[in-house]
Amino acid sequence: MKLIKPSYSIIEQEHGLNGIYKQIELAGRTCYKSEDKITEDSAKEFVDRMIKSGHGAMLEHGTVYLAIPMTTYAPEAVNTYRDNAYSKVNDCNEFIFTDKYGDKVAAWCVTTNLRVLVENDCLEDLEFLCEPTEYHERRYTVKFICSRSTSHQIVRHRVMSFAQESQRYCNYSLDKFNNEIIFVAPAWYKEQAHHKFLNSLHRAEMDYFDLINSGLKPQEARAVLPNACKTELIVTGFVSDWKGLFDLRCDTGADPD
């Protein structure tokens, strides 16, 4: 077994459509811990597979910024994004750009995600794909390495999008996991004073391995694992969503972890 501290990293989405695909693949492969299968050209195939299987939750991690010309697009169609909880629309008369016809036009600045486009049959709108401007509300993706108990708190922010390491499918007795279970030290833990805590984690690990060796599947053996188990959690949300999370989770009454 291994005991680690919690951590986080901000995952910047790369440019263009392939950057959207790569962001989705990274989120999706976190669930099965199959990041080793990522190659330079694997992202598009992965996303196509997610679309075909109807696994839309992973598509939400691919942020799409659109600049839709007001002169060439029906205003009613923009309501697809206005009426969607995972989209933000800015009627941006201040943002003037040159469209594909060479005309200077204002735009609807839309921030959304690939799932919205797929499920609303709007993939043709990708012709208006752009890099985020000051008129687009930004979305950010963060990877948390934390305990399962902490992840339970974070996923309650249901307006955000999540992808989480799956104890159903990850078999921690395998070599790819170094034949061990990783746990996260809680805020109150002190190495010199909490041997009983460490012993309980060690027993849980041994019980898990015993159940796996007896023929149980990971989704069955995980029943003996404690909330201190390490998990990897990918979270994507608008700036306003993150502010809401900070307001609640940084409050003095929140879980210290």
Residues serving a catalytic function are 249
Q: Which single residue is written with the structure tokens 């991690």? A: 61
User: What pairing do the DSSP bridges indicate for beta strands 2-4 and 182-184?
Assistant: parallel
255 in Cβ contact with 150 (< 8 Å): yes
Tokens of 123: 């993939």
* Contacts for 7 with CB less than 8 Å, ≥ 6 apart: 144, 145, 146
